[in-house]
Homo-oligomer: A and B are copies of this chain.
Amino acid sequence: IDNDEMETFREKYLSMHPYDQALFFQEQQENIRQRIYTYLSPNETADFMEHIELEDIKPFITEMDPRFAAMVIGEMATDDAVDILNELEKEIVISLLTMMEKKDADEIKELLHYEEKTAGSIMTTEFVAVYQTKTVKDTMQFLKAEAPDAETIYYLYVIDEEKHLVGVVSLRDLIVAEGDVRIADLMNKNVFAVSVGKDQEDVSQVMRDYDFLALPVVDFQHHLLGIITFDDILDVMDEEASDDYSKLAGVTDTDRPQDGAFAAAKKRLPWLIILSFLGMLTASLINQFENTLSEVAVLAIFIPLIAGMSGNTGTQSLAVAVRGLATGSFSQQGKLKLILREATTGLITGIVCGAVITGVVYLWQSDIFLGLLVGLSIMTTLIVATLAGTLVPVFMHKFNIDPAVASGPFITTINDIISILIYFGLATTFMQFLK
């Protein structure tokens, strides 16, 4: 009976796509998962394990029999294996590596050395390399044997005797070519490669610009070390987009819906505490204008309006600048142009919003001077806040700080302070006109 059950399970389970297998697997209780491990081969387990999110994989690896876990990881693409091992404690990694086949373990150990977020850390070593002296026919024969294990067979990297990368042949070219053509005559010698220490974000940009399905990674002597495939780039893109997004919202580390409340609070509190103190600074600034405020009490009611508008416009210009700095490589001239444009944009939005608000305040409070004061403050504030939203990230970029660190809340609070100074400064100067 047990054997029958195993057969039925295997038939149904293995007919699903590995991604669906992973979804099903993650919904099961531990006792069911333990049975799944016994029903499947390490290779079959590795296939769907590669589709589980990295943050969730640790408990599954640690609940497996360590020998089985080592085999599963050994069967994975080396880059995925390395990603998983990076999630585990050092002692577990060492014990898993000793239980693995030596060849797999050696490949993985080499990749584990590369710094996080570099080309080396996301590349895989399962590529197809061919010698330039071979013919198309030989190469097709060779491919037949290599295809099942390689991460991609759609680009073949051509190497010389010392394993220097000398060219690339696409499978498409290989298929169209006659059998007796030599690889050296078919290959594209202008092969694009990235160095192993290159930042993953730059690698992702190159692959997207050039529409590469895969990109070879070389050391400083141009030896071929590995390849990066497009699926790795999708992960990098997701990561970077979430990262920029979280930073704009003022969450220090990427905050995931799956995290617990304490983990979430821990990630948010640093910002909130810093912002509390900046807020206290704003409060003490207003306190300096105590006299103005007590004489014209109505001023207080427009504080949130002015502070809010400056924060909002600052975040808008911040988003454009951060996004622009992150994706395009702004030239020096491009940055100046952006600053000028933001100044003009600030002027236009300032004049429009200032006029609207002057009108509304005048109609509401029947006090043209108060209307003009609030409107003029909004106008000045919008110009300054828009510029601040651009200047802060541009300067950070100049000093090699990731401009995305200048998050929305930070710019908002800076602009709060600027707007309060402008508002109460103007109010104090023109106090004789206010009732």
Contacts and interface: CB of A to CB of B under 8 A. Distances in A.
A17 B257 contact: no
A36 interface: no
Contacts of A360: 276-277, 280
A308 interface: yes
Given A272-B309, A315-B408, A15 B190 contact: yes
A271 B241 contact: no
Nearest to A148: B176
Contacts of A237: 234, 237-238, 241
Interface stretch (A4-12, A84-92, A111-119, A208-216): A208-216
Interface of A: 15-17, 19, 51, 140, 143-144, 147-148, 153-154, 171-172, 175-176, 190, 192, 208-211, 213, 230-231, 233-234, 237-238, 241-242, 244-246, 248-251, 255-257, 259-262, 264-265, 268-269, 271-273, 275-277, 279-280, 282-284, 286-287, 290, 293-294, 297-298, 300-309, 311-313, 315-316, 318-321, 323-324, 327-328, 330, 334, 338, 341-342, 344-345, 347-349, 352-353, 356-357, 360, 364, 378, 382, 408-409, 412-413, 416, 420
Contact of A250 (B297, B312, B323): B312
Contact of A286 (B176, B233, B301): B301
B190 A172 contact: no
Grouping DSSP codes into helix (H, G, I), strand (E, B) and loop, the A interface class, with mixed when no group exceeds half, is helix
A272 B312 contact: yes
Given A316-B268, A352-B269, A309 B261 contact: no
A323 B280 contact: no
A262 B192 CA distance: 40
Contacts of A413: 308, 312
